[in-house]
Amino acid sequence: MAFIGNQPVEQYSTIAKQDITGNGGTSYTLNASVTSPEDIELFINHVRQEPTTSYSVSGTTLTLTEALASTDDCYVVFQGRTVGTKAVPVNGVGAGNIQANAVTTAKINTDAVTSAKIAANAVGSSEIDLTANYTYTGNVIQPSGWQLLDTYDNESSPVNMDADTVIHNWGNHVSNFRTFMIIGSGFNVSDGSYHMYATWRMANSNQPMMQGNIRGFNHANGVNTPYSGGVGAWSRFAYRHSNNPGPFSYMFHVVNGASGGASNTQRNMIHVRSTWLYHNTGTAHAVGVLHSTTQNDSPFAQFLINVDGSGYGEASSTKTVQLKSYCWGLR
C-alpha cells in the first residue's frame, strides 16, 4: 500500500570506496560520475586532500594538481554514493537480535560444532544412543574394580610360538594397578605335541628369573608336574601338550607387591592354574605359584609364551598356537 516518507530500507548499505594506483600521471578514472570535487574525499598516503586546490573532477575524470607515483597509497571515498548488500556486517548481530528457537539444526553446518564449544558434562546418557555400536580403541578407566586392559586374539591366524611371543603388555598401567588377571584358552594346531612355557618382562623391559613350583594331576590321578621348582627365566605350565586338536587354558594371577623392607624388594608373585590335553594320556591340570628373584625393583609388565619340543610325539619346527587371551587389572 502507499506510504508517506522515505522508501523503507530492505538491505544494509555501506559508503563506496575506490582504490587508485598511481602511474606517474595526474589523470585517473573514477568508478562513478560526480559533479563536484566535494562529492568525494581524496586521500593520498592517508592524508585528505583539499577539494579544488589539490584535485578537480569532471564526470568520471579525476585530475590531480601533482603527479601520483606508483608507491603512493591513494583512495577515494564517494560522499554521496552507497553500495547495497544483503550481507550482515561483521559483529552486526548480537544475542538480543536472535529470536528464541530461531537457530535450528538445518541452520548448523555438518561438523560446525567442535568439542571446544561443548560445555563440560553437557553430554549425558540422554544425548547418546546407548543401543548403537561404537568403535572404541581406548580403555574405559573406572574408579575401582576389574577393568579389561588388553586382548590377544590369533584365532583366525595361528602363530608359531617357538620363540618368546608377547601376549600381553600392561606397562602403561602399572602406576594405577597392582593386581592383574590373565585368562586365555586355545589349541595346539601343530603336527605334534609340545611343552608350553610362560616368561615375563618387567616394566624396565628386563626378563626376571623366576622361582616356584607348578604341580598337578592327569585324569587318571597320575602326578603331573610341569614345573618342579628351581630358578629359571621360563616356567612350564603345560607338559607334552597334545594336538589333533589339543585344547588348553590358563589363568595367571599377577601381584606386584608394594616395595618395603630391604632395598630392591618388590615381592612380585604369580599364582598359576592351567589345563591341557596330555599326549596319549588325557586331560591334565596344574596349579602353582611363582615369584621373581631378580629385577625386583620393577613390577611385572608383560606376559610371553614360548613353545618348545616335548621329546615325545614332538611337533616339527613349527610350534603353532591358536590363542585368545585377556588381561584385566584391579584398580
146-330 adopts what CATH topology?
Answer: Jelly Rolls (2.60.120)
- pLDDT-derived band of residue 263, with 50, 70 and 90 as boundaries? very low
Identify which has the larger pLDDT, 139 or 60: 60
Which of 10-14, 60-64, 205-209 has the lowest average pLDDT? 10-14
Q: What is the pLDDT of residue 315?
A: 67
| Report field, pTM of the whole predicted structure over 0.85 | no
Convert the pLDDT of each residue in 196-214 to its tens digit.
Answer: 999 999 999 999 999 999 9
DSSP calls for 98-159: SPTT---GGGS-TT-S-GGGSPTT---GGGS-TTS-----S----SSSEEEEEEEE-TTS-E
Using alpha carbons only, give the angle 323, 324, 325 rounded to the nearest 5 degrees: 115
CA-CA distance, 70 to 104, in Å (whole number)?
51
Q: What is the pLDDT of residue 73?
A: 94
- pLDDT-derived band of residue 137, with 50, 70 and 90 as boundaries? confident
Q: What are the b/e assignments for 2-23, b being 16+ CB within 10 Å?
A: eeeeeeeeeeeeeebebebebe
> In angstroms, what CA-CA distances link 129 with 24, 114, 125, 132, 181?
70, 19, 8, 6, 32
Identify which has the larger pLDDT, 135 or 108: 108
At 173 the three-state DSSP class reads: helix
Q: What is the pLDDT of residue 262?
A: 46
Q: What is the pLDDT of residue 1?
A: 59
Which runs of E-coded beta strand occur in the chain?
12-20, 27-34, 40-44, 47-48, 55-64, 74-85, 146-153, 159-160, 165-169, 179-188, 194-202, 210-218, 223-227, 231-232, 235-241, 246-256, 268-278, 282-292, 300-309, 320-330
From 310, 307, 309, select the one nearest 320 (Cα to Cα). 307
Instruction: Report the largest interatomic distance among the alpha carbons of the chain, rounded to a whole angstrom.
Output: 121
Convert the pLDDT of each residue in 219-252 to its tens digit.
Answer: 777 787 888 877 899 999 998 888 877 899 999 9
Residues 6+ apart with CB under 8 A from 226: 195, 214, 215, 216, 236, 237, 238, 239, 274, 286
Q: What is the pLDDT of residue 265?
A: 52
Domain limits, CATH 2.60.120, in the chain = 146-330
CA-CA distance, 65 to 238, in Å (whole number)?
104
Looking at the predicted structure, is the pLDDT value of residue 327 above 50? Answer: yes
Convert the pLDDT of each residue in 68-102 to its tens digit.
Answer: 999 999 999 998 766 555 556 677 777 888 888 88
Mean pLDDT of all residues in the chain?
86
- pLDDT-derived band of residue 64, with 50, 70 and 90 as boundaries? very high
Which of 86-90, 115-119, 171-175 has the lowest average pLDDT? 86-90
Q: What is the mean pLDDT of residues 266-274?
A: 87
Q: How many Cα atoms within 13 Å fall on the side-chain side of residue 97?
A: 5
